[in-house]
Amino acid sequence: MQWGKPFSVRAQVDEREALGYMGYRGQGIDAATRERLTRAKASVEALLAQALACEFAIAATQAEPAGAMGGALGHAAGSGADVWQHRAIEDFDEDGNPVFAFDAGEATWQRAGETAAKTGVDLEGCALFLPGRDIARHLAGAQRAVLVAVTLGFPCEMLLKREKALGAAAGLMIDACASALVEGAANEVSRLLEEDARSRGLRTGQRFSPGYGDLPLSVQPKFIAAIGADKALGISVTPANLLIPTKTITAVVGLFPGVAGSDSAAVEPLPAEDRCVGCRREFSCPLREAGTRCWA
């Protein structure tokens, strides 16, 4: 792996994960389905993922809006008194500015007529700003951040198009296997980052992708441009902020100071009860309702 240069990643399809994408929840699989799945896995695993990783120093993180304060609504009497508005943060835009709504979400206090400060993460030497409280908290304490893009490329798009033309079942199975493969490739990149971090006395955090928590998908165009993945990997972004090729993952990985006296600088996996925190489907996830997890 070379920083800022595309590299190839070989991965395998996690069958359990692929079945999960198809809606299986532990029920039996007949022989015909098993055979089709085996063929789909072989077709997808012939693809070679491409990845790109760029490292940046973290300039600053702001986990809470400036001007936030607790207590009851106050209004001082007299001329020129400060007037405070009770406003609720509904979301953040791509520049980290709060999008306010009343009587919803997490509230903050803002002086009337003033604009709340940005909330998110600034990276040195990078035009990309990562907005939102969740990414700021995720990278709290990190010294550096790695922006990663992993894609199966246009050969996968051609395979998906061909299989879908053959039938809905074939298309669904190949799509699920491709999703599992790109996730496996991203896991392999995470492993490579972990090895590199350990060699420098650092430790890696969990991947955090646009769309997680309040980090909006609208950062995708600037994310792709910031690391040059448009030119290096041929990745583009649709007006709806979806990635093309479709089997593409972007993510941020924090690099934290290593633990003194530890043989391994890697971050321990999050406890099971914490792995869903920040996901937009945390409280409406069909996998959790079925007693499983997407990361299981």
The pLDDT of residue 59: 85
The pLDDT of residue 278: 54
Name the H helices within the chain.
15-21, 31-45, 133-138, 153-166, 168-199, 220-227, 229-232, 286-289
Least confident of 8-17, 75-84, 121-130, 153-162: 75-84
For 213, counting Cβ atoms within 10 Å of its Cβ (0-12 exposed, 13-18 middle, 19+ buried), the class is buried
Of residues 27 and 139, the one with the higher pLDDT is 139
Least confident of 88-92, 225-229, 236-240, 255-259: 88-92
The CA-to-CA distance between both ends of the chain, in Å, stands at 27
The pLDDT of residue 261: 44
Of residues 272 and 10, the one with the higher pLDDT is 10
pTM of the model: 0.75
What are all long-range contacts of 101-104, with beta carbons under 8 Å and residues at least 24 apart?
none
